[in-house]
Amino acid sequence: MSKEIVIVGAAESTRIGTVPDQSAMQLGTDAALQAISDAGMSISDIDGVASTLQTVELAHHLGIRTRYLDGTVVGGCSYMLHVRHAVAALRDGKASAVLVVHGESGRSRVGMAPRLPDPSGPGGQFERIYGVSGTFSSFTLPVMAYLDKYGLGEEALAEVSVAQSRWSSQNPRALRQEVLTVESVLASRLIAWPFHIVECCPLTDGGGALLLTTAERAADLDLKHPAVTIVGTGESSEGPGVSFMDDLTTFRGFRDASSEALRDADMNTGDIEHLMIYDAYAHLPLYGLEDLGFVGRGEAAEFIRSGATSPGGSLPMNTNGGGLMYTHTGMYGMFALTEAVRQLQHRAAAQVDGVRTSMVQGVGGMFGAAGTVVLQRR
Amino acid sequence: MSKPVPVPTPETQQYWDKAAQHELWLPYCEVDSKFIFYPRSFCPICGTSDIHWRQLSGRGTLASFIINHRAAPGYEGEAPYVMALVELEEGPRLMSNILEVEPKPEALRVGMPLEVVFEERGDITVPQFRPSSEGDRS
């Protein structure tokens, strides 16, 4: 039996949304210090750092003497991969406490390196030249193939935002708290038809952090909240852009990473009581529910419309409001993880009664990479 | 601001050289009998370097699309414009704009036939697609 690895600290930056007076590093370290405090640990107890921030800078900034560094950056799901790698390192004794950190000034761009697209990469040569003006005009591009295949209209996307607004309306930290209707979604400003503004993630500033260690170590700690066990993980990738997907109606990364995580956890979808699917755009929960195996092909839109993923439904999903409604700093994956941990610790803003098992599915790039984490409160 | 242009690499140079002659070419794997997109110097399915460049018909169908209301640099004044994934008759799928069409949902249909045209951008020629002049046969 392999060592049990647990999350002993999970926190988000004190401020979230528009934070023009804090850098990406400040947002990340604010969350990191809270996570360390929640675990009853101190900086000198930490020997591993994983982040999308520059890891050497981050470790130095926090005063951590490292023997484990993970600078994996594959987009918004990087943190799911960080967790997966940290579990392996902690089991193997290559680290004793690993801090996973997200800090991004996505809106205000304070302390952020300039974005320099590479005009010679696959995306630069074969996608960006066609007027890609942001992720909203490329990540969204496969959607008509999906809607056409299953005879669905633009309402299928609107229902995703409607369902998630029912969660965000209960969350005082959410950027978009208004309860939406299909009509109000379809009447909102068009960004890239069939996507309206509330079917696209906002761009915000924020940070988040997780602190991982062994269950053995955690037993000796004075934890502020119950430890959450990492019972399964998976990671995968498909390609460098939507042009390079095998099939426009399904994401291989979702399929491969999630099936590996469930195998790792020795679980099936029926065991999952709470679900987070990274939703930068409203089609992602549709692809995710089907690719992860929660519903059959073409059934996700009706499942969401039926209320199954809304408060009181059989499969509460994106309960912080999701990237669409809660916050989206650019690499949102950390916030899907912190929400799942909060739910399992029974301290979420919109708490699901008695939830003990959660699955968190991330995506990176434009249907590029994927990472899955299955969590359990024991 | 002018529209973005690609910077070719040694593996893709021929694609852009042929585009400059208003032809669409891609490497073809003789083992798997498949075109390879994007271009590289071996086949990512079987690993063989036994590949040869071949010309494609330039005919395809609309696989998916969005209508972009927020212009990219160089596309100012053209929004809304259609961004699409085009499935070529021979199999590969490419991103493109759809030219010579109203940027309205009712003017576009998944599966509609398309044909390649070529757009000059300074020293580079970019493949683009428009509704097929042979009409909709489906």
| Domain A5-113+204-232, architecture per CATH | 3-Layer(aba) Sandwich (3.40)
Token pair 């990473």: residue:
A257
The full set of domain ranges for chain A reads 5-113+204-232, 126-201+233-376
Can A5-113+204-232 and A126-201+233-376 be said to share one CATH topology? Answer: yes
Indicate the residue of B67, B78, B94 with minimum beta-carbon distance to A193.
Answer: B67
In this structure, the answer to whether residues B61 and B49 fall within a common structural domain is: no
Averaged pLDDT for residues A88-92? 98
A93-113 per-position pLDDT tens digit: 999 999 999 999 999 999 998
User: Over 60: is that where the pLDDT of B136 sits?
Assistant: no
Q: Whose CA is closest to B108, among B72, B75, B63, B138?
A: B63
- Interatomic CA distance for residues A256 and A251, integer angstroms: 9
pLDDT, tens only, B19-43 = 999 999 999 999 999 999 999 999 9
Both B45 and B90 in a single domain? no
Domains of chain B: total: 2
Cβ pairs bridging A and B (under 8 Å): 118
- The DSSP 8-state label assigned to residue A317 in this structure reads B
Pairing state of beta strands A48-51 and A97-105? parallel
Q: If we measure between CA atoms, which residue out of A335, A242, A305 comes closest to residue A17?
A: A335
Structure token digits, residue B12: 């893709």
CB-based contact, B6 to chain A, within 8 Å = yes
At A76, list the tokens: 């918004």
Same domain, B39 and B65: no
**Residue A339, pLDDT score:** 98
Q: Taking CB atoms and an 8 Å cutoff, what residues of chain A touch B84? A: 141
Regarding whether B137 and B77 lie in a shared domain, the answer is yes
Nearest-Cα distance to chain A for B49, in Å, is 20
Whether residues B86 and B51 share a domain: the answer is: no
Across the interface, do A125 and B6 touch by the CB < 8 Å criterion? yes
- Calpha distance A315→A313 (Å, rounded): 6
CA distances from A363 to A19, A330, B40 (A): 25, 12, 26
In terms of domains, do B87 and B37 share one? no
Is the minimum CB–CB distance between B102 and chain A shorter than 8 Å? no
Tell if the CB–CB gap between A129 and B6 is shorter than 8 Å: yes
User: Does the predicted model carry a pTM greater than 0.95?
Assistant: yes
Q: H or E stretch including A105?
A: strand A97-105
CA distance B2 to A223: 57
Q: Is residue B138 pLDDT above 70, yes or no?
A: no
Q: List the structure tokens of A229.
A: 């066990």
Instruction: Check B38 against A122: CB less than 8 A apart.
Output: yes
Clarify whether residues B21 and B61 are in a common domain. no
Report the pLDDT averaged over residues A289-303.
98
Residues of B in contact with A116 (CB under 8 A): none
The answer to whether residue A229 scores a pLDDT higher than 70 is: yes
CATH code (residue B102): 2.40.50
Per DSSP, what are the bridge partners of residue B34? Answer: B29
A125:B9 CB<8 A: yes
- Residue A101's φ and ψ, nearest 5 degrees, are -130, 135
Mean pLDDT over residues A290-303, rounded? 98
Check if B63 contacts A (Cβ < 8 Å). Answer: yes
Kindly list the distances between the CA atom of residue A55 and the CA atoms of A106, B20, B54, in Å, as whole numbers in the listed order. 19, 44, 46
pLDDT of residue A103: 98
Segment A64-69 mean pLDDT = 98
Residue A67's contacts (CB-CB under 8 Å, 6 or more residues apart) are A47, A48, A94, A95
Q: How many residues does chain B have?
A: 138
Same domain for B62 and B13: no
Beta-bridged to residue B117, according to DSSP, are B128
Using CA atoms, how far residue A333 sits from A30, A74, A196, A274, B74, in Å, is 18, 11, 22, 16, 32
Residue A340: pLDDT over 70: yes
What are the tokens at A311? 């408060």
Q: How far apart are the first and last CA of chain A?
A: 16
Residue ranges making up the domain that contains B104 = 57-138
Same domain flag for B25 and B63? no
Query: Has residue B65 been placed in a domain?
Result: yes
Q: What is the mean pLDDT of chain A?
A: 97
Nearest residue in chain A measured CA to CA from B71: A133
Residue range B76-124, pLDDT digits in tens = 999 999 999 999 999 999 999 999 999 999 999 999 999 999 999 999 9
- For residues B65 and B129, membership in a common domain is answered with yes
Residue ending a domain, among B19, B40, B55, is B55
- Pairing verdict, β A190-193 and B59-68: antiparallel
Q: Is some CB atom of chain B closer than 8 A to the CB atom of A296?
A: no
User: At CB < 8 A and 24+ separation, what contacts does A308-315 make?
Assistant: A309/A163, A309/A275, A309/A285, A310/A163, A310/A166, A310/A167, A311/A166, A311/A167, A311/A170, A311/A350, A315/A272, A315/A273, A315/A274, A315/A275
The answer to the question of residue B1 being in a domain is no
- What phi and psi, each to the nearest 5 degrees, are found at residue A311? -55, 130
Distance from the A125 Cα atom to the nearest Cα atom in chain B, whole angstroms? 4
Q: What is the dihedral of CA A279, A283, A285, A286, to 10 degrees?
A: -170
Shared domain for B82 and B112, answered yes or no, is: yes
Q: In this structure, are B77 and B132 located in the same domain? A: yes
CA angle, residues A318, A319, A322, in degrees to nearest 5: 45
Which residue of chain A has the CA closest to B87? Answer: A243
Q: Answer whether A153 touches B (CB < 8 Å).
A: no
Please, which pLDDT band fits residue B137 given cuts at 50, 70 and 90? Answer: low
The reply to whether B4 falls in a domain is: no
Separation between Cα atoms, residue A317 and residue B39, nearest integer Å: 40
Question: Which is nearest to A250 in space by CA: A275, A295, A276, A286?
Answer: A286
3-state secondary structure of A290: helix
Q: Please report the pLDDT score of residue A1 as a whole number.
A: 63
Query: Judged by CB atoms within 8 Å, which residues 30-59 of B form the interface with A?
Result: 37-38
Yes or no, beta carbons of B70 and A134 under 8 Å apart: yes
Does domain A126-201+233-376 sit in CATH 3.40.47.10? Answer: yes
